[in-house]
Structure 1
Amino acid sequence: MKIWTIEEEASALRARFEGVNRAAFARDHEVKGGQAMIYQHITGRRPLNLEAATVYAKGFGCSLAEISPRLAGEAQKAAALTSDATPAASPTVAPWPFSSIDRERIEALPAERLKHLEGVMLFALQGYSDGATTITVPERPASSFAAPTRGSVVDIDVAADEFPMRIKGLPPAPWEGGNTTHQAEANPKIRISTQTGVVANVGPGEPYAANDKFEKVPEMADVRLAAGDGIENHLEEQTGVMHFRRSFLRAVGADAGKARVVYAKGDSMEPIIRDGAALLVVPNEDLTVRDLAAGGVYAINYDGKMIVKTVTRDRLTKQWVARSFNPAYPDIPLENGTPVRVLGQVVWSGARLRDDEAGQWVKS
């Protein structure tokens, strides 16, 4: 008998499944792993084992050797070894010691009653071992909660809680001595150290609403807005997501999937926007340069290059210019005939703090 390779086994099995509904076959013949396992077998990703090959042989009405000569040979060797072995002696079953009690009655008891009966028997055996001739079985302790009958009144303080809703690690509930929601909102935890001598310009954090979920914002890691010289972006594809609270996105007009996360390149907008900072941009190409006079930071396409700047009117020339926060960079004229298109507003910036920056100031 020629032994097939794994690929040959898979090919032969795949031919048998042509025109056969794999999902129905897996269901009718109880194939372990279901339709997905059949797919792995017919593609050779997982070699056949004896159990699976036996199921396939039974399902297709063929011999095991027609499914896998390899496994058929192994099965024959196992059968030969089994026939040569000495049959094991069947265990001796001890007779039932209680003539007045049917074994079926004991085995029909629920687990709780069996446990109680076991305890009673252990108690009696211990008494016999100690030389007692009469055993007084103690009464079963009454349950703290009896199953109520229809129309009865139940004390909720002692009622059994079969499905407790408390989760370990959470603060105690109000009825356990903890704060109510109103008390927790009125006394939020202070997030910054209150150590004597430490000064910080922050206050207690406001609690978020219980239904304030996070929303995914597409991240375009390959897109750079120049905080310096202009940058041409050749790729504008989504590379990941960042999570923001829905309430924050709604507050800045960036909810409902309107926002995008890109990154700054350069130091022209420092100290407000750092080199490499993540920028949350709300696209709005209906804006004109004059719409930006109220202030803010904007993403601008300047002659095909992407920049991030504020927009203001120059005091001397009275012309609109793109201005940097860093005074070392000159203004960029926006009314000199160069194609200018406002892409959207930057509403948030996040960057890693440098190691040489202090996080707290201590009184001397």
Structure 2
Amino acid sequence: MDNFLETQLHPAEICVVCTEPFSLSHQPVALPCKHIFGHECIKKWLKSGQGNSSACPTCRYVVVEKRTPRVDFDTSSIWKALCDQPPERLNSLMMAIWPGLKILWQRHPSGNFSITEILDQAVIPALIKTARRTESPQDRSYDPVLDCYNLVAASWDSLGRPDTATGLAIAFVRLARLMSTASATLPKWLTSTARTNRLLWRANASLGIFELDVSWDFIIEATNLEEEQYFPLLHLYTVLVSQSIAHNSQPTPWPTRRHDIMNLVVERCCTKIGGTFWKGKPSNKFKDVLVAVYEELRRYQLEKGKMSLRGHDGEERVVKGIWALAGWTAKKVEVR
């Protein structure tokens, strides 16, 4: 034992990573395997993310388990992870999309933006701006926004940047179009609020990933009030109708013939709001209900001192109540 203690135990004098002696500024530390290295040297070694750097340089004892490859890097999983982000994060993403849309509106006052323009000018720059990055790949936690950018940009570039949307790009193009539709009706100050962005995001998310266009069928289905999936879209549409009432001058006197009222409502609430981007056409039955909704909203807003719907929390009950009452009113008119 004495011989072993005298001949085999050697004090650690230098770091085998940098080959420099230990000092007050180069403190030694021991890994679980008992091998000793300079504190900063072994930190850099383990964090570099290269080769066998997750193991002890001397004995290859695994100190840091390497991250296993992702098995959920697909469109549906990434979209779900993005939708599960905190509201503040989603609001930041949408706030980064608005400036690009503003530029497109300046170029095309008609609002007829191509898919290429939407992706290149609004969506991809917003994803880049909002994505989180860290210095070390070893430390980086997965970021759904960064994943979205990687998937959207990679697939679009690989196809030669066509004027079509595929995969995850579909949901973002549709979101941008919904935002564009809303901006044509909402006052400018309302487009920059968190509640408007939340309303738009929920409406878009309710349509899933693969529906490129908003369809009137979705809104009509939501008016049954038993179909919860598309209700966020109906909520958004009702807010736009309410804002149209608040910010458009109303005919004086108000038309008395139902045909004239129908033409007015369809022009303001279907042609101007849906435009050319919403797929299909509203049915005649839906138009009858919409007239009743329009008149009920006019009455409601006059009673509330012209207070229009703006996407506030708890507003869903008002929206459901108005559509339920309108459906009942339309049935009475139909019976007559």
Structure 1 and Structure 2 fold alike (TM over 0.5)? no
Higher relative contact order (CA 8 A, sep 6+): 2
TM-score normalised by L of structure 1: 0.23
TM-score normalised by L of structure 2: 0.24
- Going by fraction, where is helix more abundant, 1 or 2? 2
Structure number with bigger Rg:
1
